[in-house]
Amino acid sequence: MGRERELAEMRRALELATSGHGQLIAVVADAGTGKSRLFYEFKATLPAECKLLEAYSVSHGKASAWLPVLELLRGYFGLQDEDNAITRREKVNAALAALDPTLSDALPYLLGLLEKQVGPDPLTQMDPQIRRRRTFDAIKRVIVRESLNQPTVVIFEDLHWIDSETQALPDLLADSIANSRLMLLANYRPEYRHEWSNKSYYLQFRLAALGWESAGEMLSALLGEGIELVPPKRLVTERTEGNPFFIEEMVQALFDEGALIRNGVVKVTRSLSQLRLPPTIQGILAARIDRLQADQKELLQVLAVMGRESQLGLIRRVASKAEAQL
């Protein structure tokens, strides 16, 4: 879909990072243009020896400090929702000892952030600003030390939603990767601002909406070929202005409305002039949600609050649904 150049540049940057020349890549684009998809395709090409750490920001995240950092740390230390305080401490302590015994002084800061202290908190009396600075330094030391063992890729998604506390971590890493085997990837919408542009190891991509040719290729992949499919393809391309996510959602809406059916091949079953399709992505998603049954809407609301990924056991406890229904 026209992203081959960006993927090739990212793979070259990974080669540089693997050889000890840390790299920082930023991808900026409007919503639905393919930022996350580009990262998804890049992750699929990562060599097995690479360590991958990911942190996601969410639309309500600016009101909740540390959410992306907590997600990154839980992934790194293998923490589970059902872990109690003692289990979490043991996992963090064991991981630090295996990585580098000299990192033992980072343990109270990491445990304090993970909010699973056992017994009195040794940092209670510390100045909040000093504690915050040392906490971020502890995280940075762990990640940079990990990159000595294996090339490490750290991904920050949707930085335009990042909270002010978490912002310090990508800034700190951006200043620390020049001579490491560390690759930092970040994506965000155009309104987000940072201070990384003057770094020699910084590379930025601006993703535009798909042109007519690329949009046509995408629609052919989704719908197939055929003379009768030319009008709906034209409609989708014009309505979406080449936004890849909007294209996918508009195509799904055409199937939902019964204008298209798939029976081996895609067929047009209704006149497009009869359709009343919402003009925005939000409108199309809202219309799809409205068509759900009441219990499905309720479950969707629960999952939306819980996040992109959740343990089935936790969902089972929160959502009052039978196992078969889940």
pLDDT-derived band at 326 (thresholds 50, 70, 90) equals low
12-20: average pLDDT: 96
Across residues 224-240, what is the average pLDDT?
A: 89
Closest residue by Cα to residue 76 from 89, 92, 61: 92
The answer, yes or no, to whether residue 76 has pLDDT greater than 90, is yes
DSSP string, 53-97: EEEE--TTGGGSTTHHHHHHHHHHHT--TT--HHHHHHHHHHHHH
Question: Which range in 8-17, 27-36, 60-69, 128-137 is most confidently predicted, on average pLDDT?
Answer: 8-17
Round to whole Å and give the CA distance between 20 and 260: 52
The per-residue pLDDT for 305 is: 76
Q: What is the pLDDT of residue 312?
A: 75
Q: How far is CA 77 from CA 62, 86, 99, 101, 191, in A?
A: 24, 14, 11, 16, 33
Please check the confidence at residue 215 and state whether its pLDDT lies above 60: yes
d(CA 4, CA 168): 32
Give backbone dihedrals phi and psi of 185, rounded to 5 degrees, phi first.
-115, 135
Q: Lowest-confidence range among 94-108, 144-158, 243-257, 309-323?
A: 309-323
* Whole-number pLDDT of residue 64: 66
Would you state the pLDDT for residue 61?
56
Of residues 24 and 71, the one with the higher pLDDT is: 24
Give the C-alpha separation, 91 to 82, whole Å: 13
pLDDT band at residue 315 using 50, 70 and 90 as cut-offs:
confident
Higher pLDDT, 134 or 302: 134
- Measured over the CA atoms of residue 258, residue 209, residue 44 and residue 83, the dihedral's sign is negative
Q: Mean per-residue pLDDT for 188-193?
A: 92
> Regarding predicted confidence, which is higher, 9 or 300?
9
Q: What pLDDT score does 313 carry?
A: 74
For range 182-189, the mean pLDDT: 95
Q: How confident is the model at residue 322 (pLDDT cuts 50, 70, 90)?
A: low
Question: How does residue 208 score in pLDDT terms, banded at 50, 70 and 90?
Answer: confident
- Interior/surface letters 212-245, b for 16+ CB within 10 angstroms, e for the rest: eebbeebbeeebeeeeebeebbebbbebbebbbb
Higher pLDDT, 325 or 294: 294
- Evaluate if residue 117 carries a pLDDT over 60: no
pTM over 0.75: yes
Looking at 18-22, 109-113, 152-156, 314-318, which range is the least confident one?
314-318
pLDDT tens, position by position, 17-53: 999 999 999 999 988 888 998 999 999 999 999 999 9
Average pLDDT (115-139) is: 80
Checking DSSP bridges between strand 265-268 and strand 260-263, what pairing results, if any? Answer: antiparallel
Average pLDDT over residues 133-152: 95
